[in-house]
Every structure is written in structure tokens, then in C-alpha cells.
Structure 1
Amino acid sequence: MHTRSVLEVKVLISSYFDAISEKIAEIRAGESDNIAHVAEVCAHSIEAGGVIHMHDTGHMLNSEMVGRAGGLVVITPFTFGLNVSNANSFREKTASQPNVTPEIVALALKKSNIRPGDVLFIGSVSGKSEQVVELALQAKAMGVTTVAITAMAYSPKLESQHPSGKRLYEAADIVLDNHAPYGDAMLAVKGLDVDICPASGIAAACILWAVCAGIVENLIANGIVPTVFRSVNAPGGPEDVKARHERYREKGY
């Protein structure tokens, strides 16, 4: 087995930190105005009794933004799915499968706590899947402000799976570009046929915490003190978190 020196190993580590730092700088330069606008939209929604919802296709936003110390209690995850176990190889070979995505999305929205005037963030790096586009279109039609977090260097080059031909950035009200490169991964490595270290997860988290900071700034400027989580692991944490949930339940912000 070939043993590499610590110095050699650190080259890629250093390259990653350089790449992600540059990506965050790009986001700050290119998205600050959009982030400020989204924060203002969210603050207005909260002031009017609205809720901020997060729907992500698997790149950590729901777990990153919901229930975190320093995060807003008003931020709520929105997930849904339909699992059917009924395998039959003959039918699967000979019969076409009906498209039920619109019905699933409609039912999910109907059964959810999403209401007109709310804000729904939808995270998808590619933005091409039928479900995220359908969700954006249906939510927007019911009076929800939809915010896409997607990769504008990537998504426009992909073919949509939605019947309309739209991708998420074309279906949502507002677009926040995570500045991930085509294919998402940032680092080319000699000896590998694929790049490594995706940008989208850290980038999206950075964007959303900036939005969160902007929401707090807007609310406080308007005389509203939002309910913010304290760490559950601090002394008295569980009781404090419970009290903050109760405060939010009472005030709605």
C-alpha cells in the first residue's frame, strides 16, 4: 500500500476549503439582493400570521433549518411521499404506469398546514424532477410564495421531467442560485473519472441562514420579536425549548 505524506493529503483538503470559500464569496456577491428580498417577503408573511415551509429533495435543508439552536421556530418542514408495494414483473413490463404526480402533490398540499400567504422554499440542485416543479406550480396557484434554491449553472442545461417542460427555476416565484457548478462537485482529482465535493449542500445552508438573519432583522425593525430556539443541550434546554414552542403557539411568530 502506498503511503502518502500528510503534506500531500492536505493538498485536496486545502483545495476544498479554497473552493467552498470562493463559492460562498460568489453567493454573497451575486445573491445578497435576492436574499434580502426573500427575507423581507418572509418577514411580511410572518407578520400576517404566515408560516415558512421547507421542502428539500435530500440535500440536508430540512434537517439544517428546522429545530436548530439559533433558528426560527416558525420554520417548518414539508415532506410527503407515496409508497406502494405491489410488484408484478409481467405488468411492469407490459403496462404503462399512470402519472399520478399532480394528484399526489395536490393531496399533500391539501393535508398540509400550508396556507395562502405562506412561503415555501423548494430545494433541488437540478430542478428538473416532475415533483418539485408540480409542487411549485400548485403551491403558487394557491397563493403561496414559492422560493427555489437551485443551481443556475446546471439546471438550464437539463431536460425537465415535467409535462410543461419547466424546471424549478421557471416555476417558482423567486429563485436563489446556490452557485453550484454543472454536476455539483467542485474538485477534479487526478486518477478519478468524476469530480468530488459537491457545493450545493453548504451553499444552500449558507443562503438560508442568511435569509434567516434577514428575517430576524426585518421583524425586529418592525417591532416584532420572533421566537428563536435555544440549544436543547444547554442547562434547562428541554424546558426552554418547550416554553419557546408555547410562545410561538400563542403569538404565531
Structure 2
Amino acid sequence: MSLSQSYFERIRAQIAELERRSLPAIERAAEVCAECLLRRGVIHVYDTGHLVSRELINRAGGLAAFSPLQFDLQVTNTNPYREAQGVGAQTTPETVRCIVQAALDRSRVASGDVLIIGSVSGKTPFPVELALQAKGRGVFTIGLTALDYSSKLQSEHASGKRLFEVVDLVIDNAAPYGDAMLSLEGVETAFCPASGIGAAVALWAVVAGIVERMAAAGSPPTILASINRPDGMERYKQTIEYYKQRGY
């Protein structure tokens, strides 16, 4: 069997394991998100730079109601002498708290909304802090992470907690420890990560559940069509206007 064939085999096994582990959480996430949209709430999506936000936002067949949440603090102040001494470039717990607070203050996140937070390791300060502060503002938080991986890592957040320990609902993407699935003699590092595929499958399963529930309630959500069709761009603009009027 070639490694390419092995990859397909491992992906099939991962998706089966994802369904076994996380289907109840996926169904619950769909229920919470559908209820949120029917109340004219918004579903916000934040991730740490991998697939999650890019996969859901402005996708043909996706929901107009998904809103990306991104924030950062860029400081440009280079000095070779200070860098050599290790002065500056410190991210303290107070810095993390203030940046997240400012981001939420300036965002359109509101009480009653849903926030999906994607972090494979779940250990870094910003996703954990974001979950804690969002919950404090009445937002339902969903963490998309890799439990086999994250549970073996030490948190870098001041609380000592990882993402799966602070969110309201956890969806486990079933990625293995270290994320990569394949290895080869003579190649030092494992390769072909699992988390991106697992995240995409889990989230589109959530979308399927949202559409099912909202349609059953007589209020199907606004769904984006492909802009690459002959009338695609005009239809996209009409769809966004329709979403603005309906709120879901």
C-alpha cells in the first residue's frame, strides 16, 4: 500500500472515530446554533490560524450568519541590542486579558450569541482567555480541539486550564497526539496532519444540523450560493441583503 493510500485509510478511520466521539456534541452544537439564529443572534468563529475560520466564512453552501472574529496587537519596535538582552516582546497574563477585553469591546459579539473557538492544542493563552471572557458576557462557547493531544499538554494560560476545560461545549476533532498521522523510515518527523480535515467535517456536520432544525421550525437559514456561476456575484449580493433583513 502506498503512503497516499495509507493517508486515505487513516482519514476514513479518523472520520469514523470523530463521529463516534463527537456526534452528540455536534448535534448539541447544531441545536444551540439554530436556537441562536432563530433569536436573531450571530455565530462567531475564531481560530488560531488553521482551517476553521477560512472553511466556514463566505463558502458556497455555507451560512451567511457565520461571522469571523480576528484580533491581534502588532508592535513594531526593533532594536538589536534590546533583543539580544531579551528586553520587551513579553506577553503577560494582564496583556492577554486586556487585548481580549478590547477585542470583545470593539467586536459585534453580544450576549446570546455563539462563539466557536478552534485550537488544536487548546493550550495557548488567547483562545482560553477568549472563552472565559465571552462566557462572562453571556456568549455560548464551543471549543473545537483535539482531546488526545490537548489533554497531554500543559496550559500556557494563567488559569492553568486548556480550552476544553473552559468552554460550554467541546467538539473533539479526533486528531492524534502531535496531529500528524503518517511516518516513514528515514524521515525524522511525522507528517500529514489530521486536525484540519477533522475540523472541517465536524463543522459542516454542525451546519447540516442547523439547516435541518431551522427548516423544521419553518425558518431555514440564509445559505450562500457559488459566486462562480453566471449570476453568482449578483445573487451573492442579494443573499447578503436578504440576510441583513432577516437576521438569519
Equivalent-residue separation in structure 2 for 1:222 and 1:59 (angstroms)? 34
SS of the equivalent of 1:230 reads: coil
1:69 to 49, 60, 65: 60
Aligned to 1:49: 40
If the length of structure 1 is used for normalisation, what is the TM-score? 0.94
Letter in 1 for 2:22: E
Equivalent-residue separation in structure 2 for 1:153 and 1:60 (angstroms)? 19
Aligned to 1:109: 104
Letter in 2 for 1:172: V
1:207 to 202, 209, 226: 202
Equivalent-residue separation in structure 2 for 1:94 and 1:153 (angstroms)? 34
Distance 1:193 1:51, change over 3 A: same
Aligned to 2:29: 38
Aligned to 2:176: 181
User: Does 2:19 correspond to 1:24?
Assistant: no
1:148 to 143, 156, 159: 143
2:153 to 151, 158, 161: 158
Task: State the identity as a percent.
Answer: 50
Stretches of structure 1 that go unaligned for 5 or more consecutive residues are 1-9
Equivalent-residue separation in structure 2 for 1:145 and 1:251 (angstroms)? 22
Letter in 2 for 1:83: Q
Letter in 2 for 1:241: Y
Aligned to 1:239: 234
Equivalent-residue separation in structure 2 for 1:243 and 1:98 (angstroms)? 44
Letter in 2 for 1:194: T
CA RMSD of aligned residues (A): 1.2
1:80 to 60, 67, 71: 71
Distance 1:186 1:106, change over 3 A: same
User: In the TM superposition, what is the alpha-carbon distance from 1:225 to its structure 2 partner?
Assistant: 1.8
User: In the TM superposition, what is the alpha-carbon distance from 1:31 to its structure 2 partner?
Assistant: 1.0
Letter in 2 for 1:42: C
Equivalent-residue separation in structure 1 for 2:74 and 2:190 (angstroms)? 33
Equivalent-residue separation in structure 1 for 2:91 and 2:206 (angstroms)? 39
Stretches of structure 2 that go unaligned for 5 or more consecutive residues are none
User: In the TM superposition, what is the alpha-carbon distance from 1:89 to its structure 2 partner?
Assistant: 3.9
Equivalent-residue separation in structure 2 for 1:89 and 1:159 (angstroms)? 32
1:224 to 219, 236, 246: 219
User: In the TM superposition, what is the alpha-carbon distance from 1:30 to its structure 2 partner?
Assistant: 1.5
Equivalent-residue separation in structure 1 for 2:154 and 2:33 (angstroms)? 31
Equivalent-residue separation in structure 1 for 2:240 and 2:199 (angstroms)? 26
Letter in 1 for 2:26: I
Equivalent-residue separation in structure 1 for 2:27 and 2:87 (angstroms)? 49
User: In the TM superposition, what is the alpha-carbon distance from 1:95 to its structure 2 partner?
Assistant: 4.2
SS of the equivalent of 1:70 reads: coil
Equivalent-residue separation in structure 1 for 2:45 and 2:87 (angstroms)? 36
Letter in 1 for 2:195: S
Which deviations, in whole Å up to 9, do the C-alpha atoms of 1:22-73 show, x marking residues without a partner? 1011111221111000000000111111101110111111111101110000
Aligned to 2:116: 121
If the length of structure 2 is used for normalisation, what is the TM-score? 0.95
Which deviations, in whole Å up to 9, do the C-alpha atoms of 1:191-213 show, x marking residues without a partner? 11111100000100000000000
Q: How many residues align?
A: 244
